[in-house]
Structure 1
Amino acid sequence: MTVLLTPLMLALGTGAVALLAAVVFVESGVLLGFFLPGDSLLFTGGLLVASGVIHLPVAVVIAVVAVAAVLGDQLGYTLGRRLGPRVFSGRASRFLSPAHLARAERFFERHGSRAVVLARFVPVVRTLVPFLAGTAAMPRGRFTTRNAVGGVLWAAGVVLAGFFLGGVPFVAHHVELVVVGVVALSLVPVAVSLAVRRLTGRDAADDAAHDGEARELVGAGSH
């Protein structure tokens, strides 16, 4: 999706900051926003600031993105407090992957309140953890503090990464090509994970089949 949105950002110029803020807010606060490309789009935003397409100081872009991230997480937290587990039952569950939810729950249980900060750097998990924090009735003050820290660190880190790379002449003159490369690299861990799961599943199936054959042989021999 980043590849599709990049031409729009180039056409919008400085107005692309509003698009960045909207994407970050939806990805952070709306449970169905986990499909949005927050990291790669922020990286692209930094590139566009460095290349002069976005005529704003990079600090302003970081501030806008951070505010959108924090407000989005506050919305997710509020939804969790009000709706709780009902969102993951009935018709709503058709739009949410149980695997995504389980992954976020494990992350939240493992890291506790720190998960609010750490989740900001993990796609999908960052969409669901604020909701889980609200469902678990984490004190709003504690959540808000950690939410602000995570939002600022994430916005600054990703935007600045794109900004400094955007200062390289080749990158500045080939923004769309670089974005395609970034998206491709971001898909590598996903591809590796799927490959490992598939291989693991096949190994487990083979082991089960071998065990079944062995039991049949033992049974036949006992007769």
Structure 2
Amino acid sequence: MQQVVHTILHFNQTLFPLVQASGNWSYLLFFLIIFAETGLVVFPYLPGESLIFFTSSIAAVDANTLDIYKLTAVFFFAALLGDTVNYTIGRHLERLTIFKRYIPVSKLLTAQRFFKRHGGKTVVFGRFVPFIRTFIPLISGTVHMKFSRFSLYNLLGVSLWVGVAVITGYFFGRIPIVQQHFSLIFIGIALLAIIPSAIFGLIKFLRRKKETQI
């Protein structure tokens, strides 16, 4: 038990060599996580900016473990490609019978009017909202937002999202006290990061339980 506690409180001593040993495979894993979180609707719970922030801080603590420039490129293209795939999926949703059955034409028209007026802002700022950002590209495609318009605002949104997360994570990792207590601080951050997911899961559980009691 003492060994487990020591490993948790000093996980950077294990994590850094592990990432170093993985080499470029680490970047591939990060790419797949961000791509899945943004491009596949069934994975909205995967870490997004928290992963970018965390890995950027690792790059600041030990540049030999992760390269900040490679990380930035990986996260940028993963998010950009993920959103594009998600948008493409949305464009073809209306062909599905289940879509026509559960999505009334009136709601679809309302969404189309909304995206015609506020689509650009929604694509840009929605990227900063966990869970929501996974569905915005899908809805953009579903309501037939012009691909050129979506791509422009998506490029802006992804650039801002990745840029802010990378810069804040990197400079956070450069703070001396963070470097001295890296494991403890990031355990606290990780616990805070899962709170929204835990609350979301609890709300869904309580709703299902209430529905079964009615």
Contact 2:59 2:66 in 1 (8 A): yes
Q: Which amino acid aligns with 2:48?
A: G
Q: Quick one: distance in 1 between partners of 2:141 and 2:43?
A: 17
Q: Quick one: distance in 1 between partners of 2:197 and 2:118?
A: 23
Q: Aligned-pair distance for 1:169?
A: 2.4
Q: Which amino acid aligns with 1:81?
A: R
Change (3 A) 1:53 1:144: same
Q: Quick one: distance in 2 between partners of 1:118 and 1:88?
A: 30
Q: Secondary structure, in 3 states, of the residue corresponding to 1:137?
A: coil
Give 2:124's match in structure 1, choosing from 117, 124, 135.
117
Q: Aligned-pair distance for 1:20?
A: 1.7
User: Do structure 1's residue 59 and structure 2's residue 60 form an aligned pair?
Assistant: no
1:81 alignment partner in structure 2: 91
Q: Quick one: distance in 2 between partners of 1:66 and 1:28?
A: 11
Change (3 A) 1:22 1:88: farther
Q: Aligned-pair distance for 1:182?
A: 1.3
Q: Aligned-pair distance for 1:176?
A: 3.1
Change (3 A) 1:56 1:188: closer
Deviates more, 1:80-89 or 1:162-171: 80-89
TM-score, normalising length: structure 1: 0.67
1:169 alignment partner in structure 2: 176
Q: Aligned-pair distance for 1:29?
A: 0.4
Q: Quick one: distance in 1 between partners of 2:139 and 2:51?
A: 25
Change (3 A) 1:85 1:175: farther
Q: Aligned-pair distance for 1:194?
A: 9.1
2:31 alignment partner in structure 1: 21
Q: Aligned-pair distance for 1:12?
A: 1.9
Q: Quick one: distance in 2 between partners of 1:138 and 1:43?
A: 31
Output one character per residue of 1:11-41: Cα deviation in whole Å (capped at 9) or x when no partner: 1235333222111111010011101011211
1:178 alignment partner in structure 2: 185
Deviates more, 1:37-46 or 1:134-143: 37-46
Query: Structure 2: which 5+ residue stretches go unaligned?
Result: 1-7, 103-110, 208-214
Q: Aligned-pair distance for 1:47?
A: 0.8
Q: Quick one: distance in 2 between partners of 1:48 and 1:54?
A: 10
Aligned residues: 178
Change (3 A) 1:43 1:139: same
Q: Which amino acid aligns with 1:184?
A: L
Change (3 A) 1:88 1:46: farther
Contact 2:34 2:48 in 1 (8 A): yes
Sequence identity of aligned pairs in percent?
A: 33
What value does the CA root-mean-square deviation take over the aligned residues? 3.3
Q: Quick one: distance in 2 between partners of 1:142 and 1:125?
A: 19
Give 1:128's match in structure 2, choosing from 117, 135, 145.
135
- Listed as ranges, the matches of 1:1-223 within 5 Å are 10=16, 11-13=18-20, 14-15=23-24, 16-52=26-62, 55=65, 57-84=67-94, 86=96, 111-187=118-194
Q: Quick one: distance in 2 between partners of 1:87 and 1:172?
A: 54
